Amino acid sequence: MQQRLLGHTGLKVSRLGLGTMTWGRDTDEHEARDQLRAFVEAGGNLVDTAAGYTEGDSERLIGSLIGDIVHRDEVVIATKAGIGRRSGGTRVTNASRGFLISSLDQSLHRLGVDHVDLWQVHTWVDDAPLEETLGALDYAVSTGRAAYVGISNYTGWQTAQAATWQRAVPGRARLASTQMEYSLLNRSIEAEVLPAAQALGLGVLPWSPLGRGVLTGKYRGGVPADSRAASPHFASFVTNVLGERSERIVEAVVRAAEGLDWTPLEVALAWVRDRPGVTAPIVGARTAAQLKASLLVEECELPTELVAALDDVSGTPR
């Protein structure tokens, strides 16, 4: 698998990342083991997780596989902090310095490592002073807990403000990346986030590059029993993007796939992987078989005329 530099850094990552949001819940230890093995054997190295994924079980599972399936230096471990759950299950966001640093230390313990390669603030939090949030990133780098730092789910102006602050103050850890939802179904980051990231040297790591699974075409005939939309954890996550517009885009992807003798997954993933400013889409899969299907995209490059056609059908109406 080809590698790309992450933003304006020397960190090389595979141009597909392995997402682990379901590890420890919908993806059990055996499937996770097979996924990681297949990913590394295909040349992948970027493994993305978060403290808030499956209440820390995703990180624990990754930690149990490091040294067993892969050596530590074979993977670029990226994790996030800032989203968690209270004892009753209520989602909570916190980007204060104390919460973030405590979360990072817990992540390191669960992963069984002394540092992560990329540590990201999982989301913007209105009531946390930005300089305090960014100060936690500085602390993580200066103490060797993280090699690089980034942000996730920041709007355009939030991205620009954070990156500019880190560049303007000497000695601060510059942001390496931003992680945002980006696919043919959701191109909203093209208006402000992508231009800000490119101007300020941040690599872009798209999450849900397959439109929450919809772009694979699996929902054309309804909701499969084994799909995310049938899961109590992800039903609303998927159904929120279903509708007439998504149907038009999916049909265009399917037609393009038929003409190329590809799968719709390969068309949709190749499109986002090769967008300007993108470093590596984060691909999540419930099973190893699903992941292996995604890894086949390494051999795919969309013809320019099909890129233009997909751009046209998925463009935001003006």
SS3 at position 40:
helix
Residues with Cβ within 8 Å of residue 289, at least 6 apart in sequence: none
> Which residue reads 């601060």 in tokens?
172
Count of other CB atoms within 10 angstroms of residue 226: 11
Report d(CA 113, CA 64) in Å as an integer. Answer: 11
Residues with Cβ within 8 Å of residue 177, at least 6 apart in sequence: 6, 7, 118, 120, 148, 150, 151, 202, 203, 204, 205, 279
Q: What angle do CA 304, 308, 310 make, to 5 degrees?
A: 115
Considering the candidates 53, 148, 154, 219, report the single residue annotated as catalytic: 53
User: What amino acid is encoded at 53 in this protein?
Assistant: Y
Report d(CA 231, CA 236) in Å as an integer. Answer: 9
SS3 at position 154:
coil
DSSP 152: E
Catalytic residue status for 53: yes
Closest CA to 214 of 179, 243, 190: 243
Which residues belong to the active site? Answer: 53
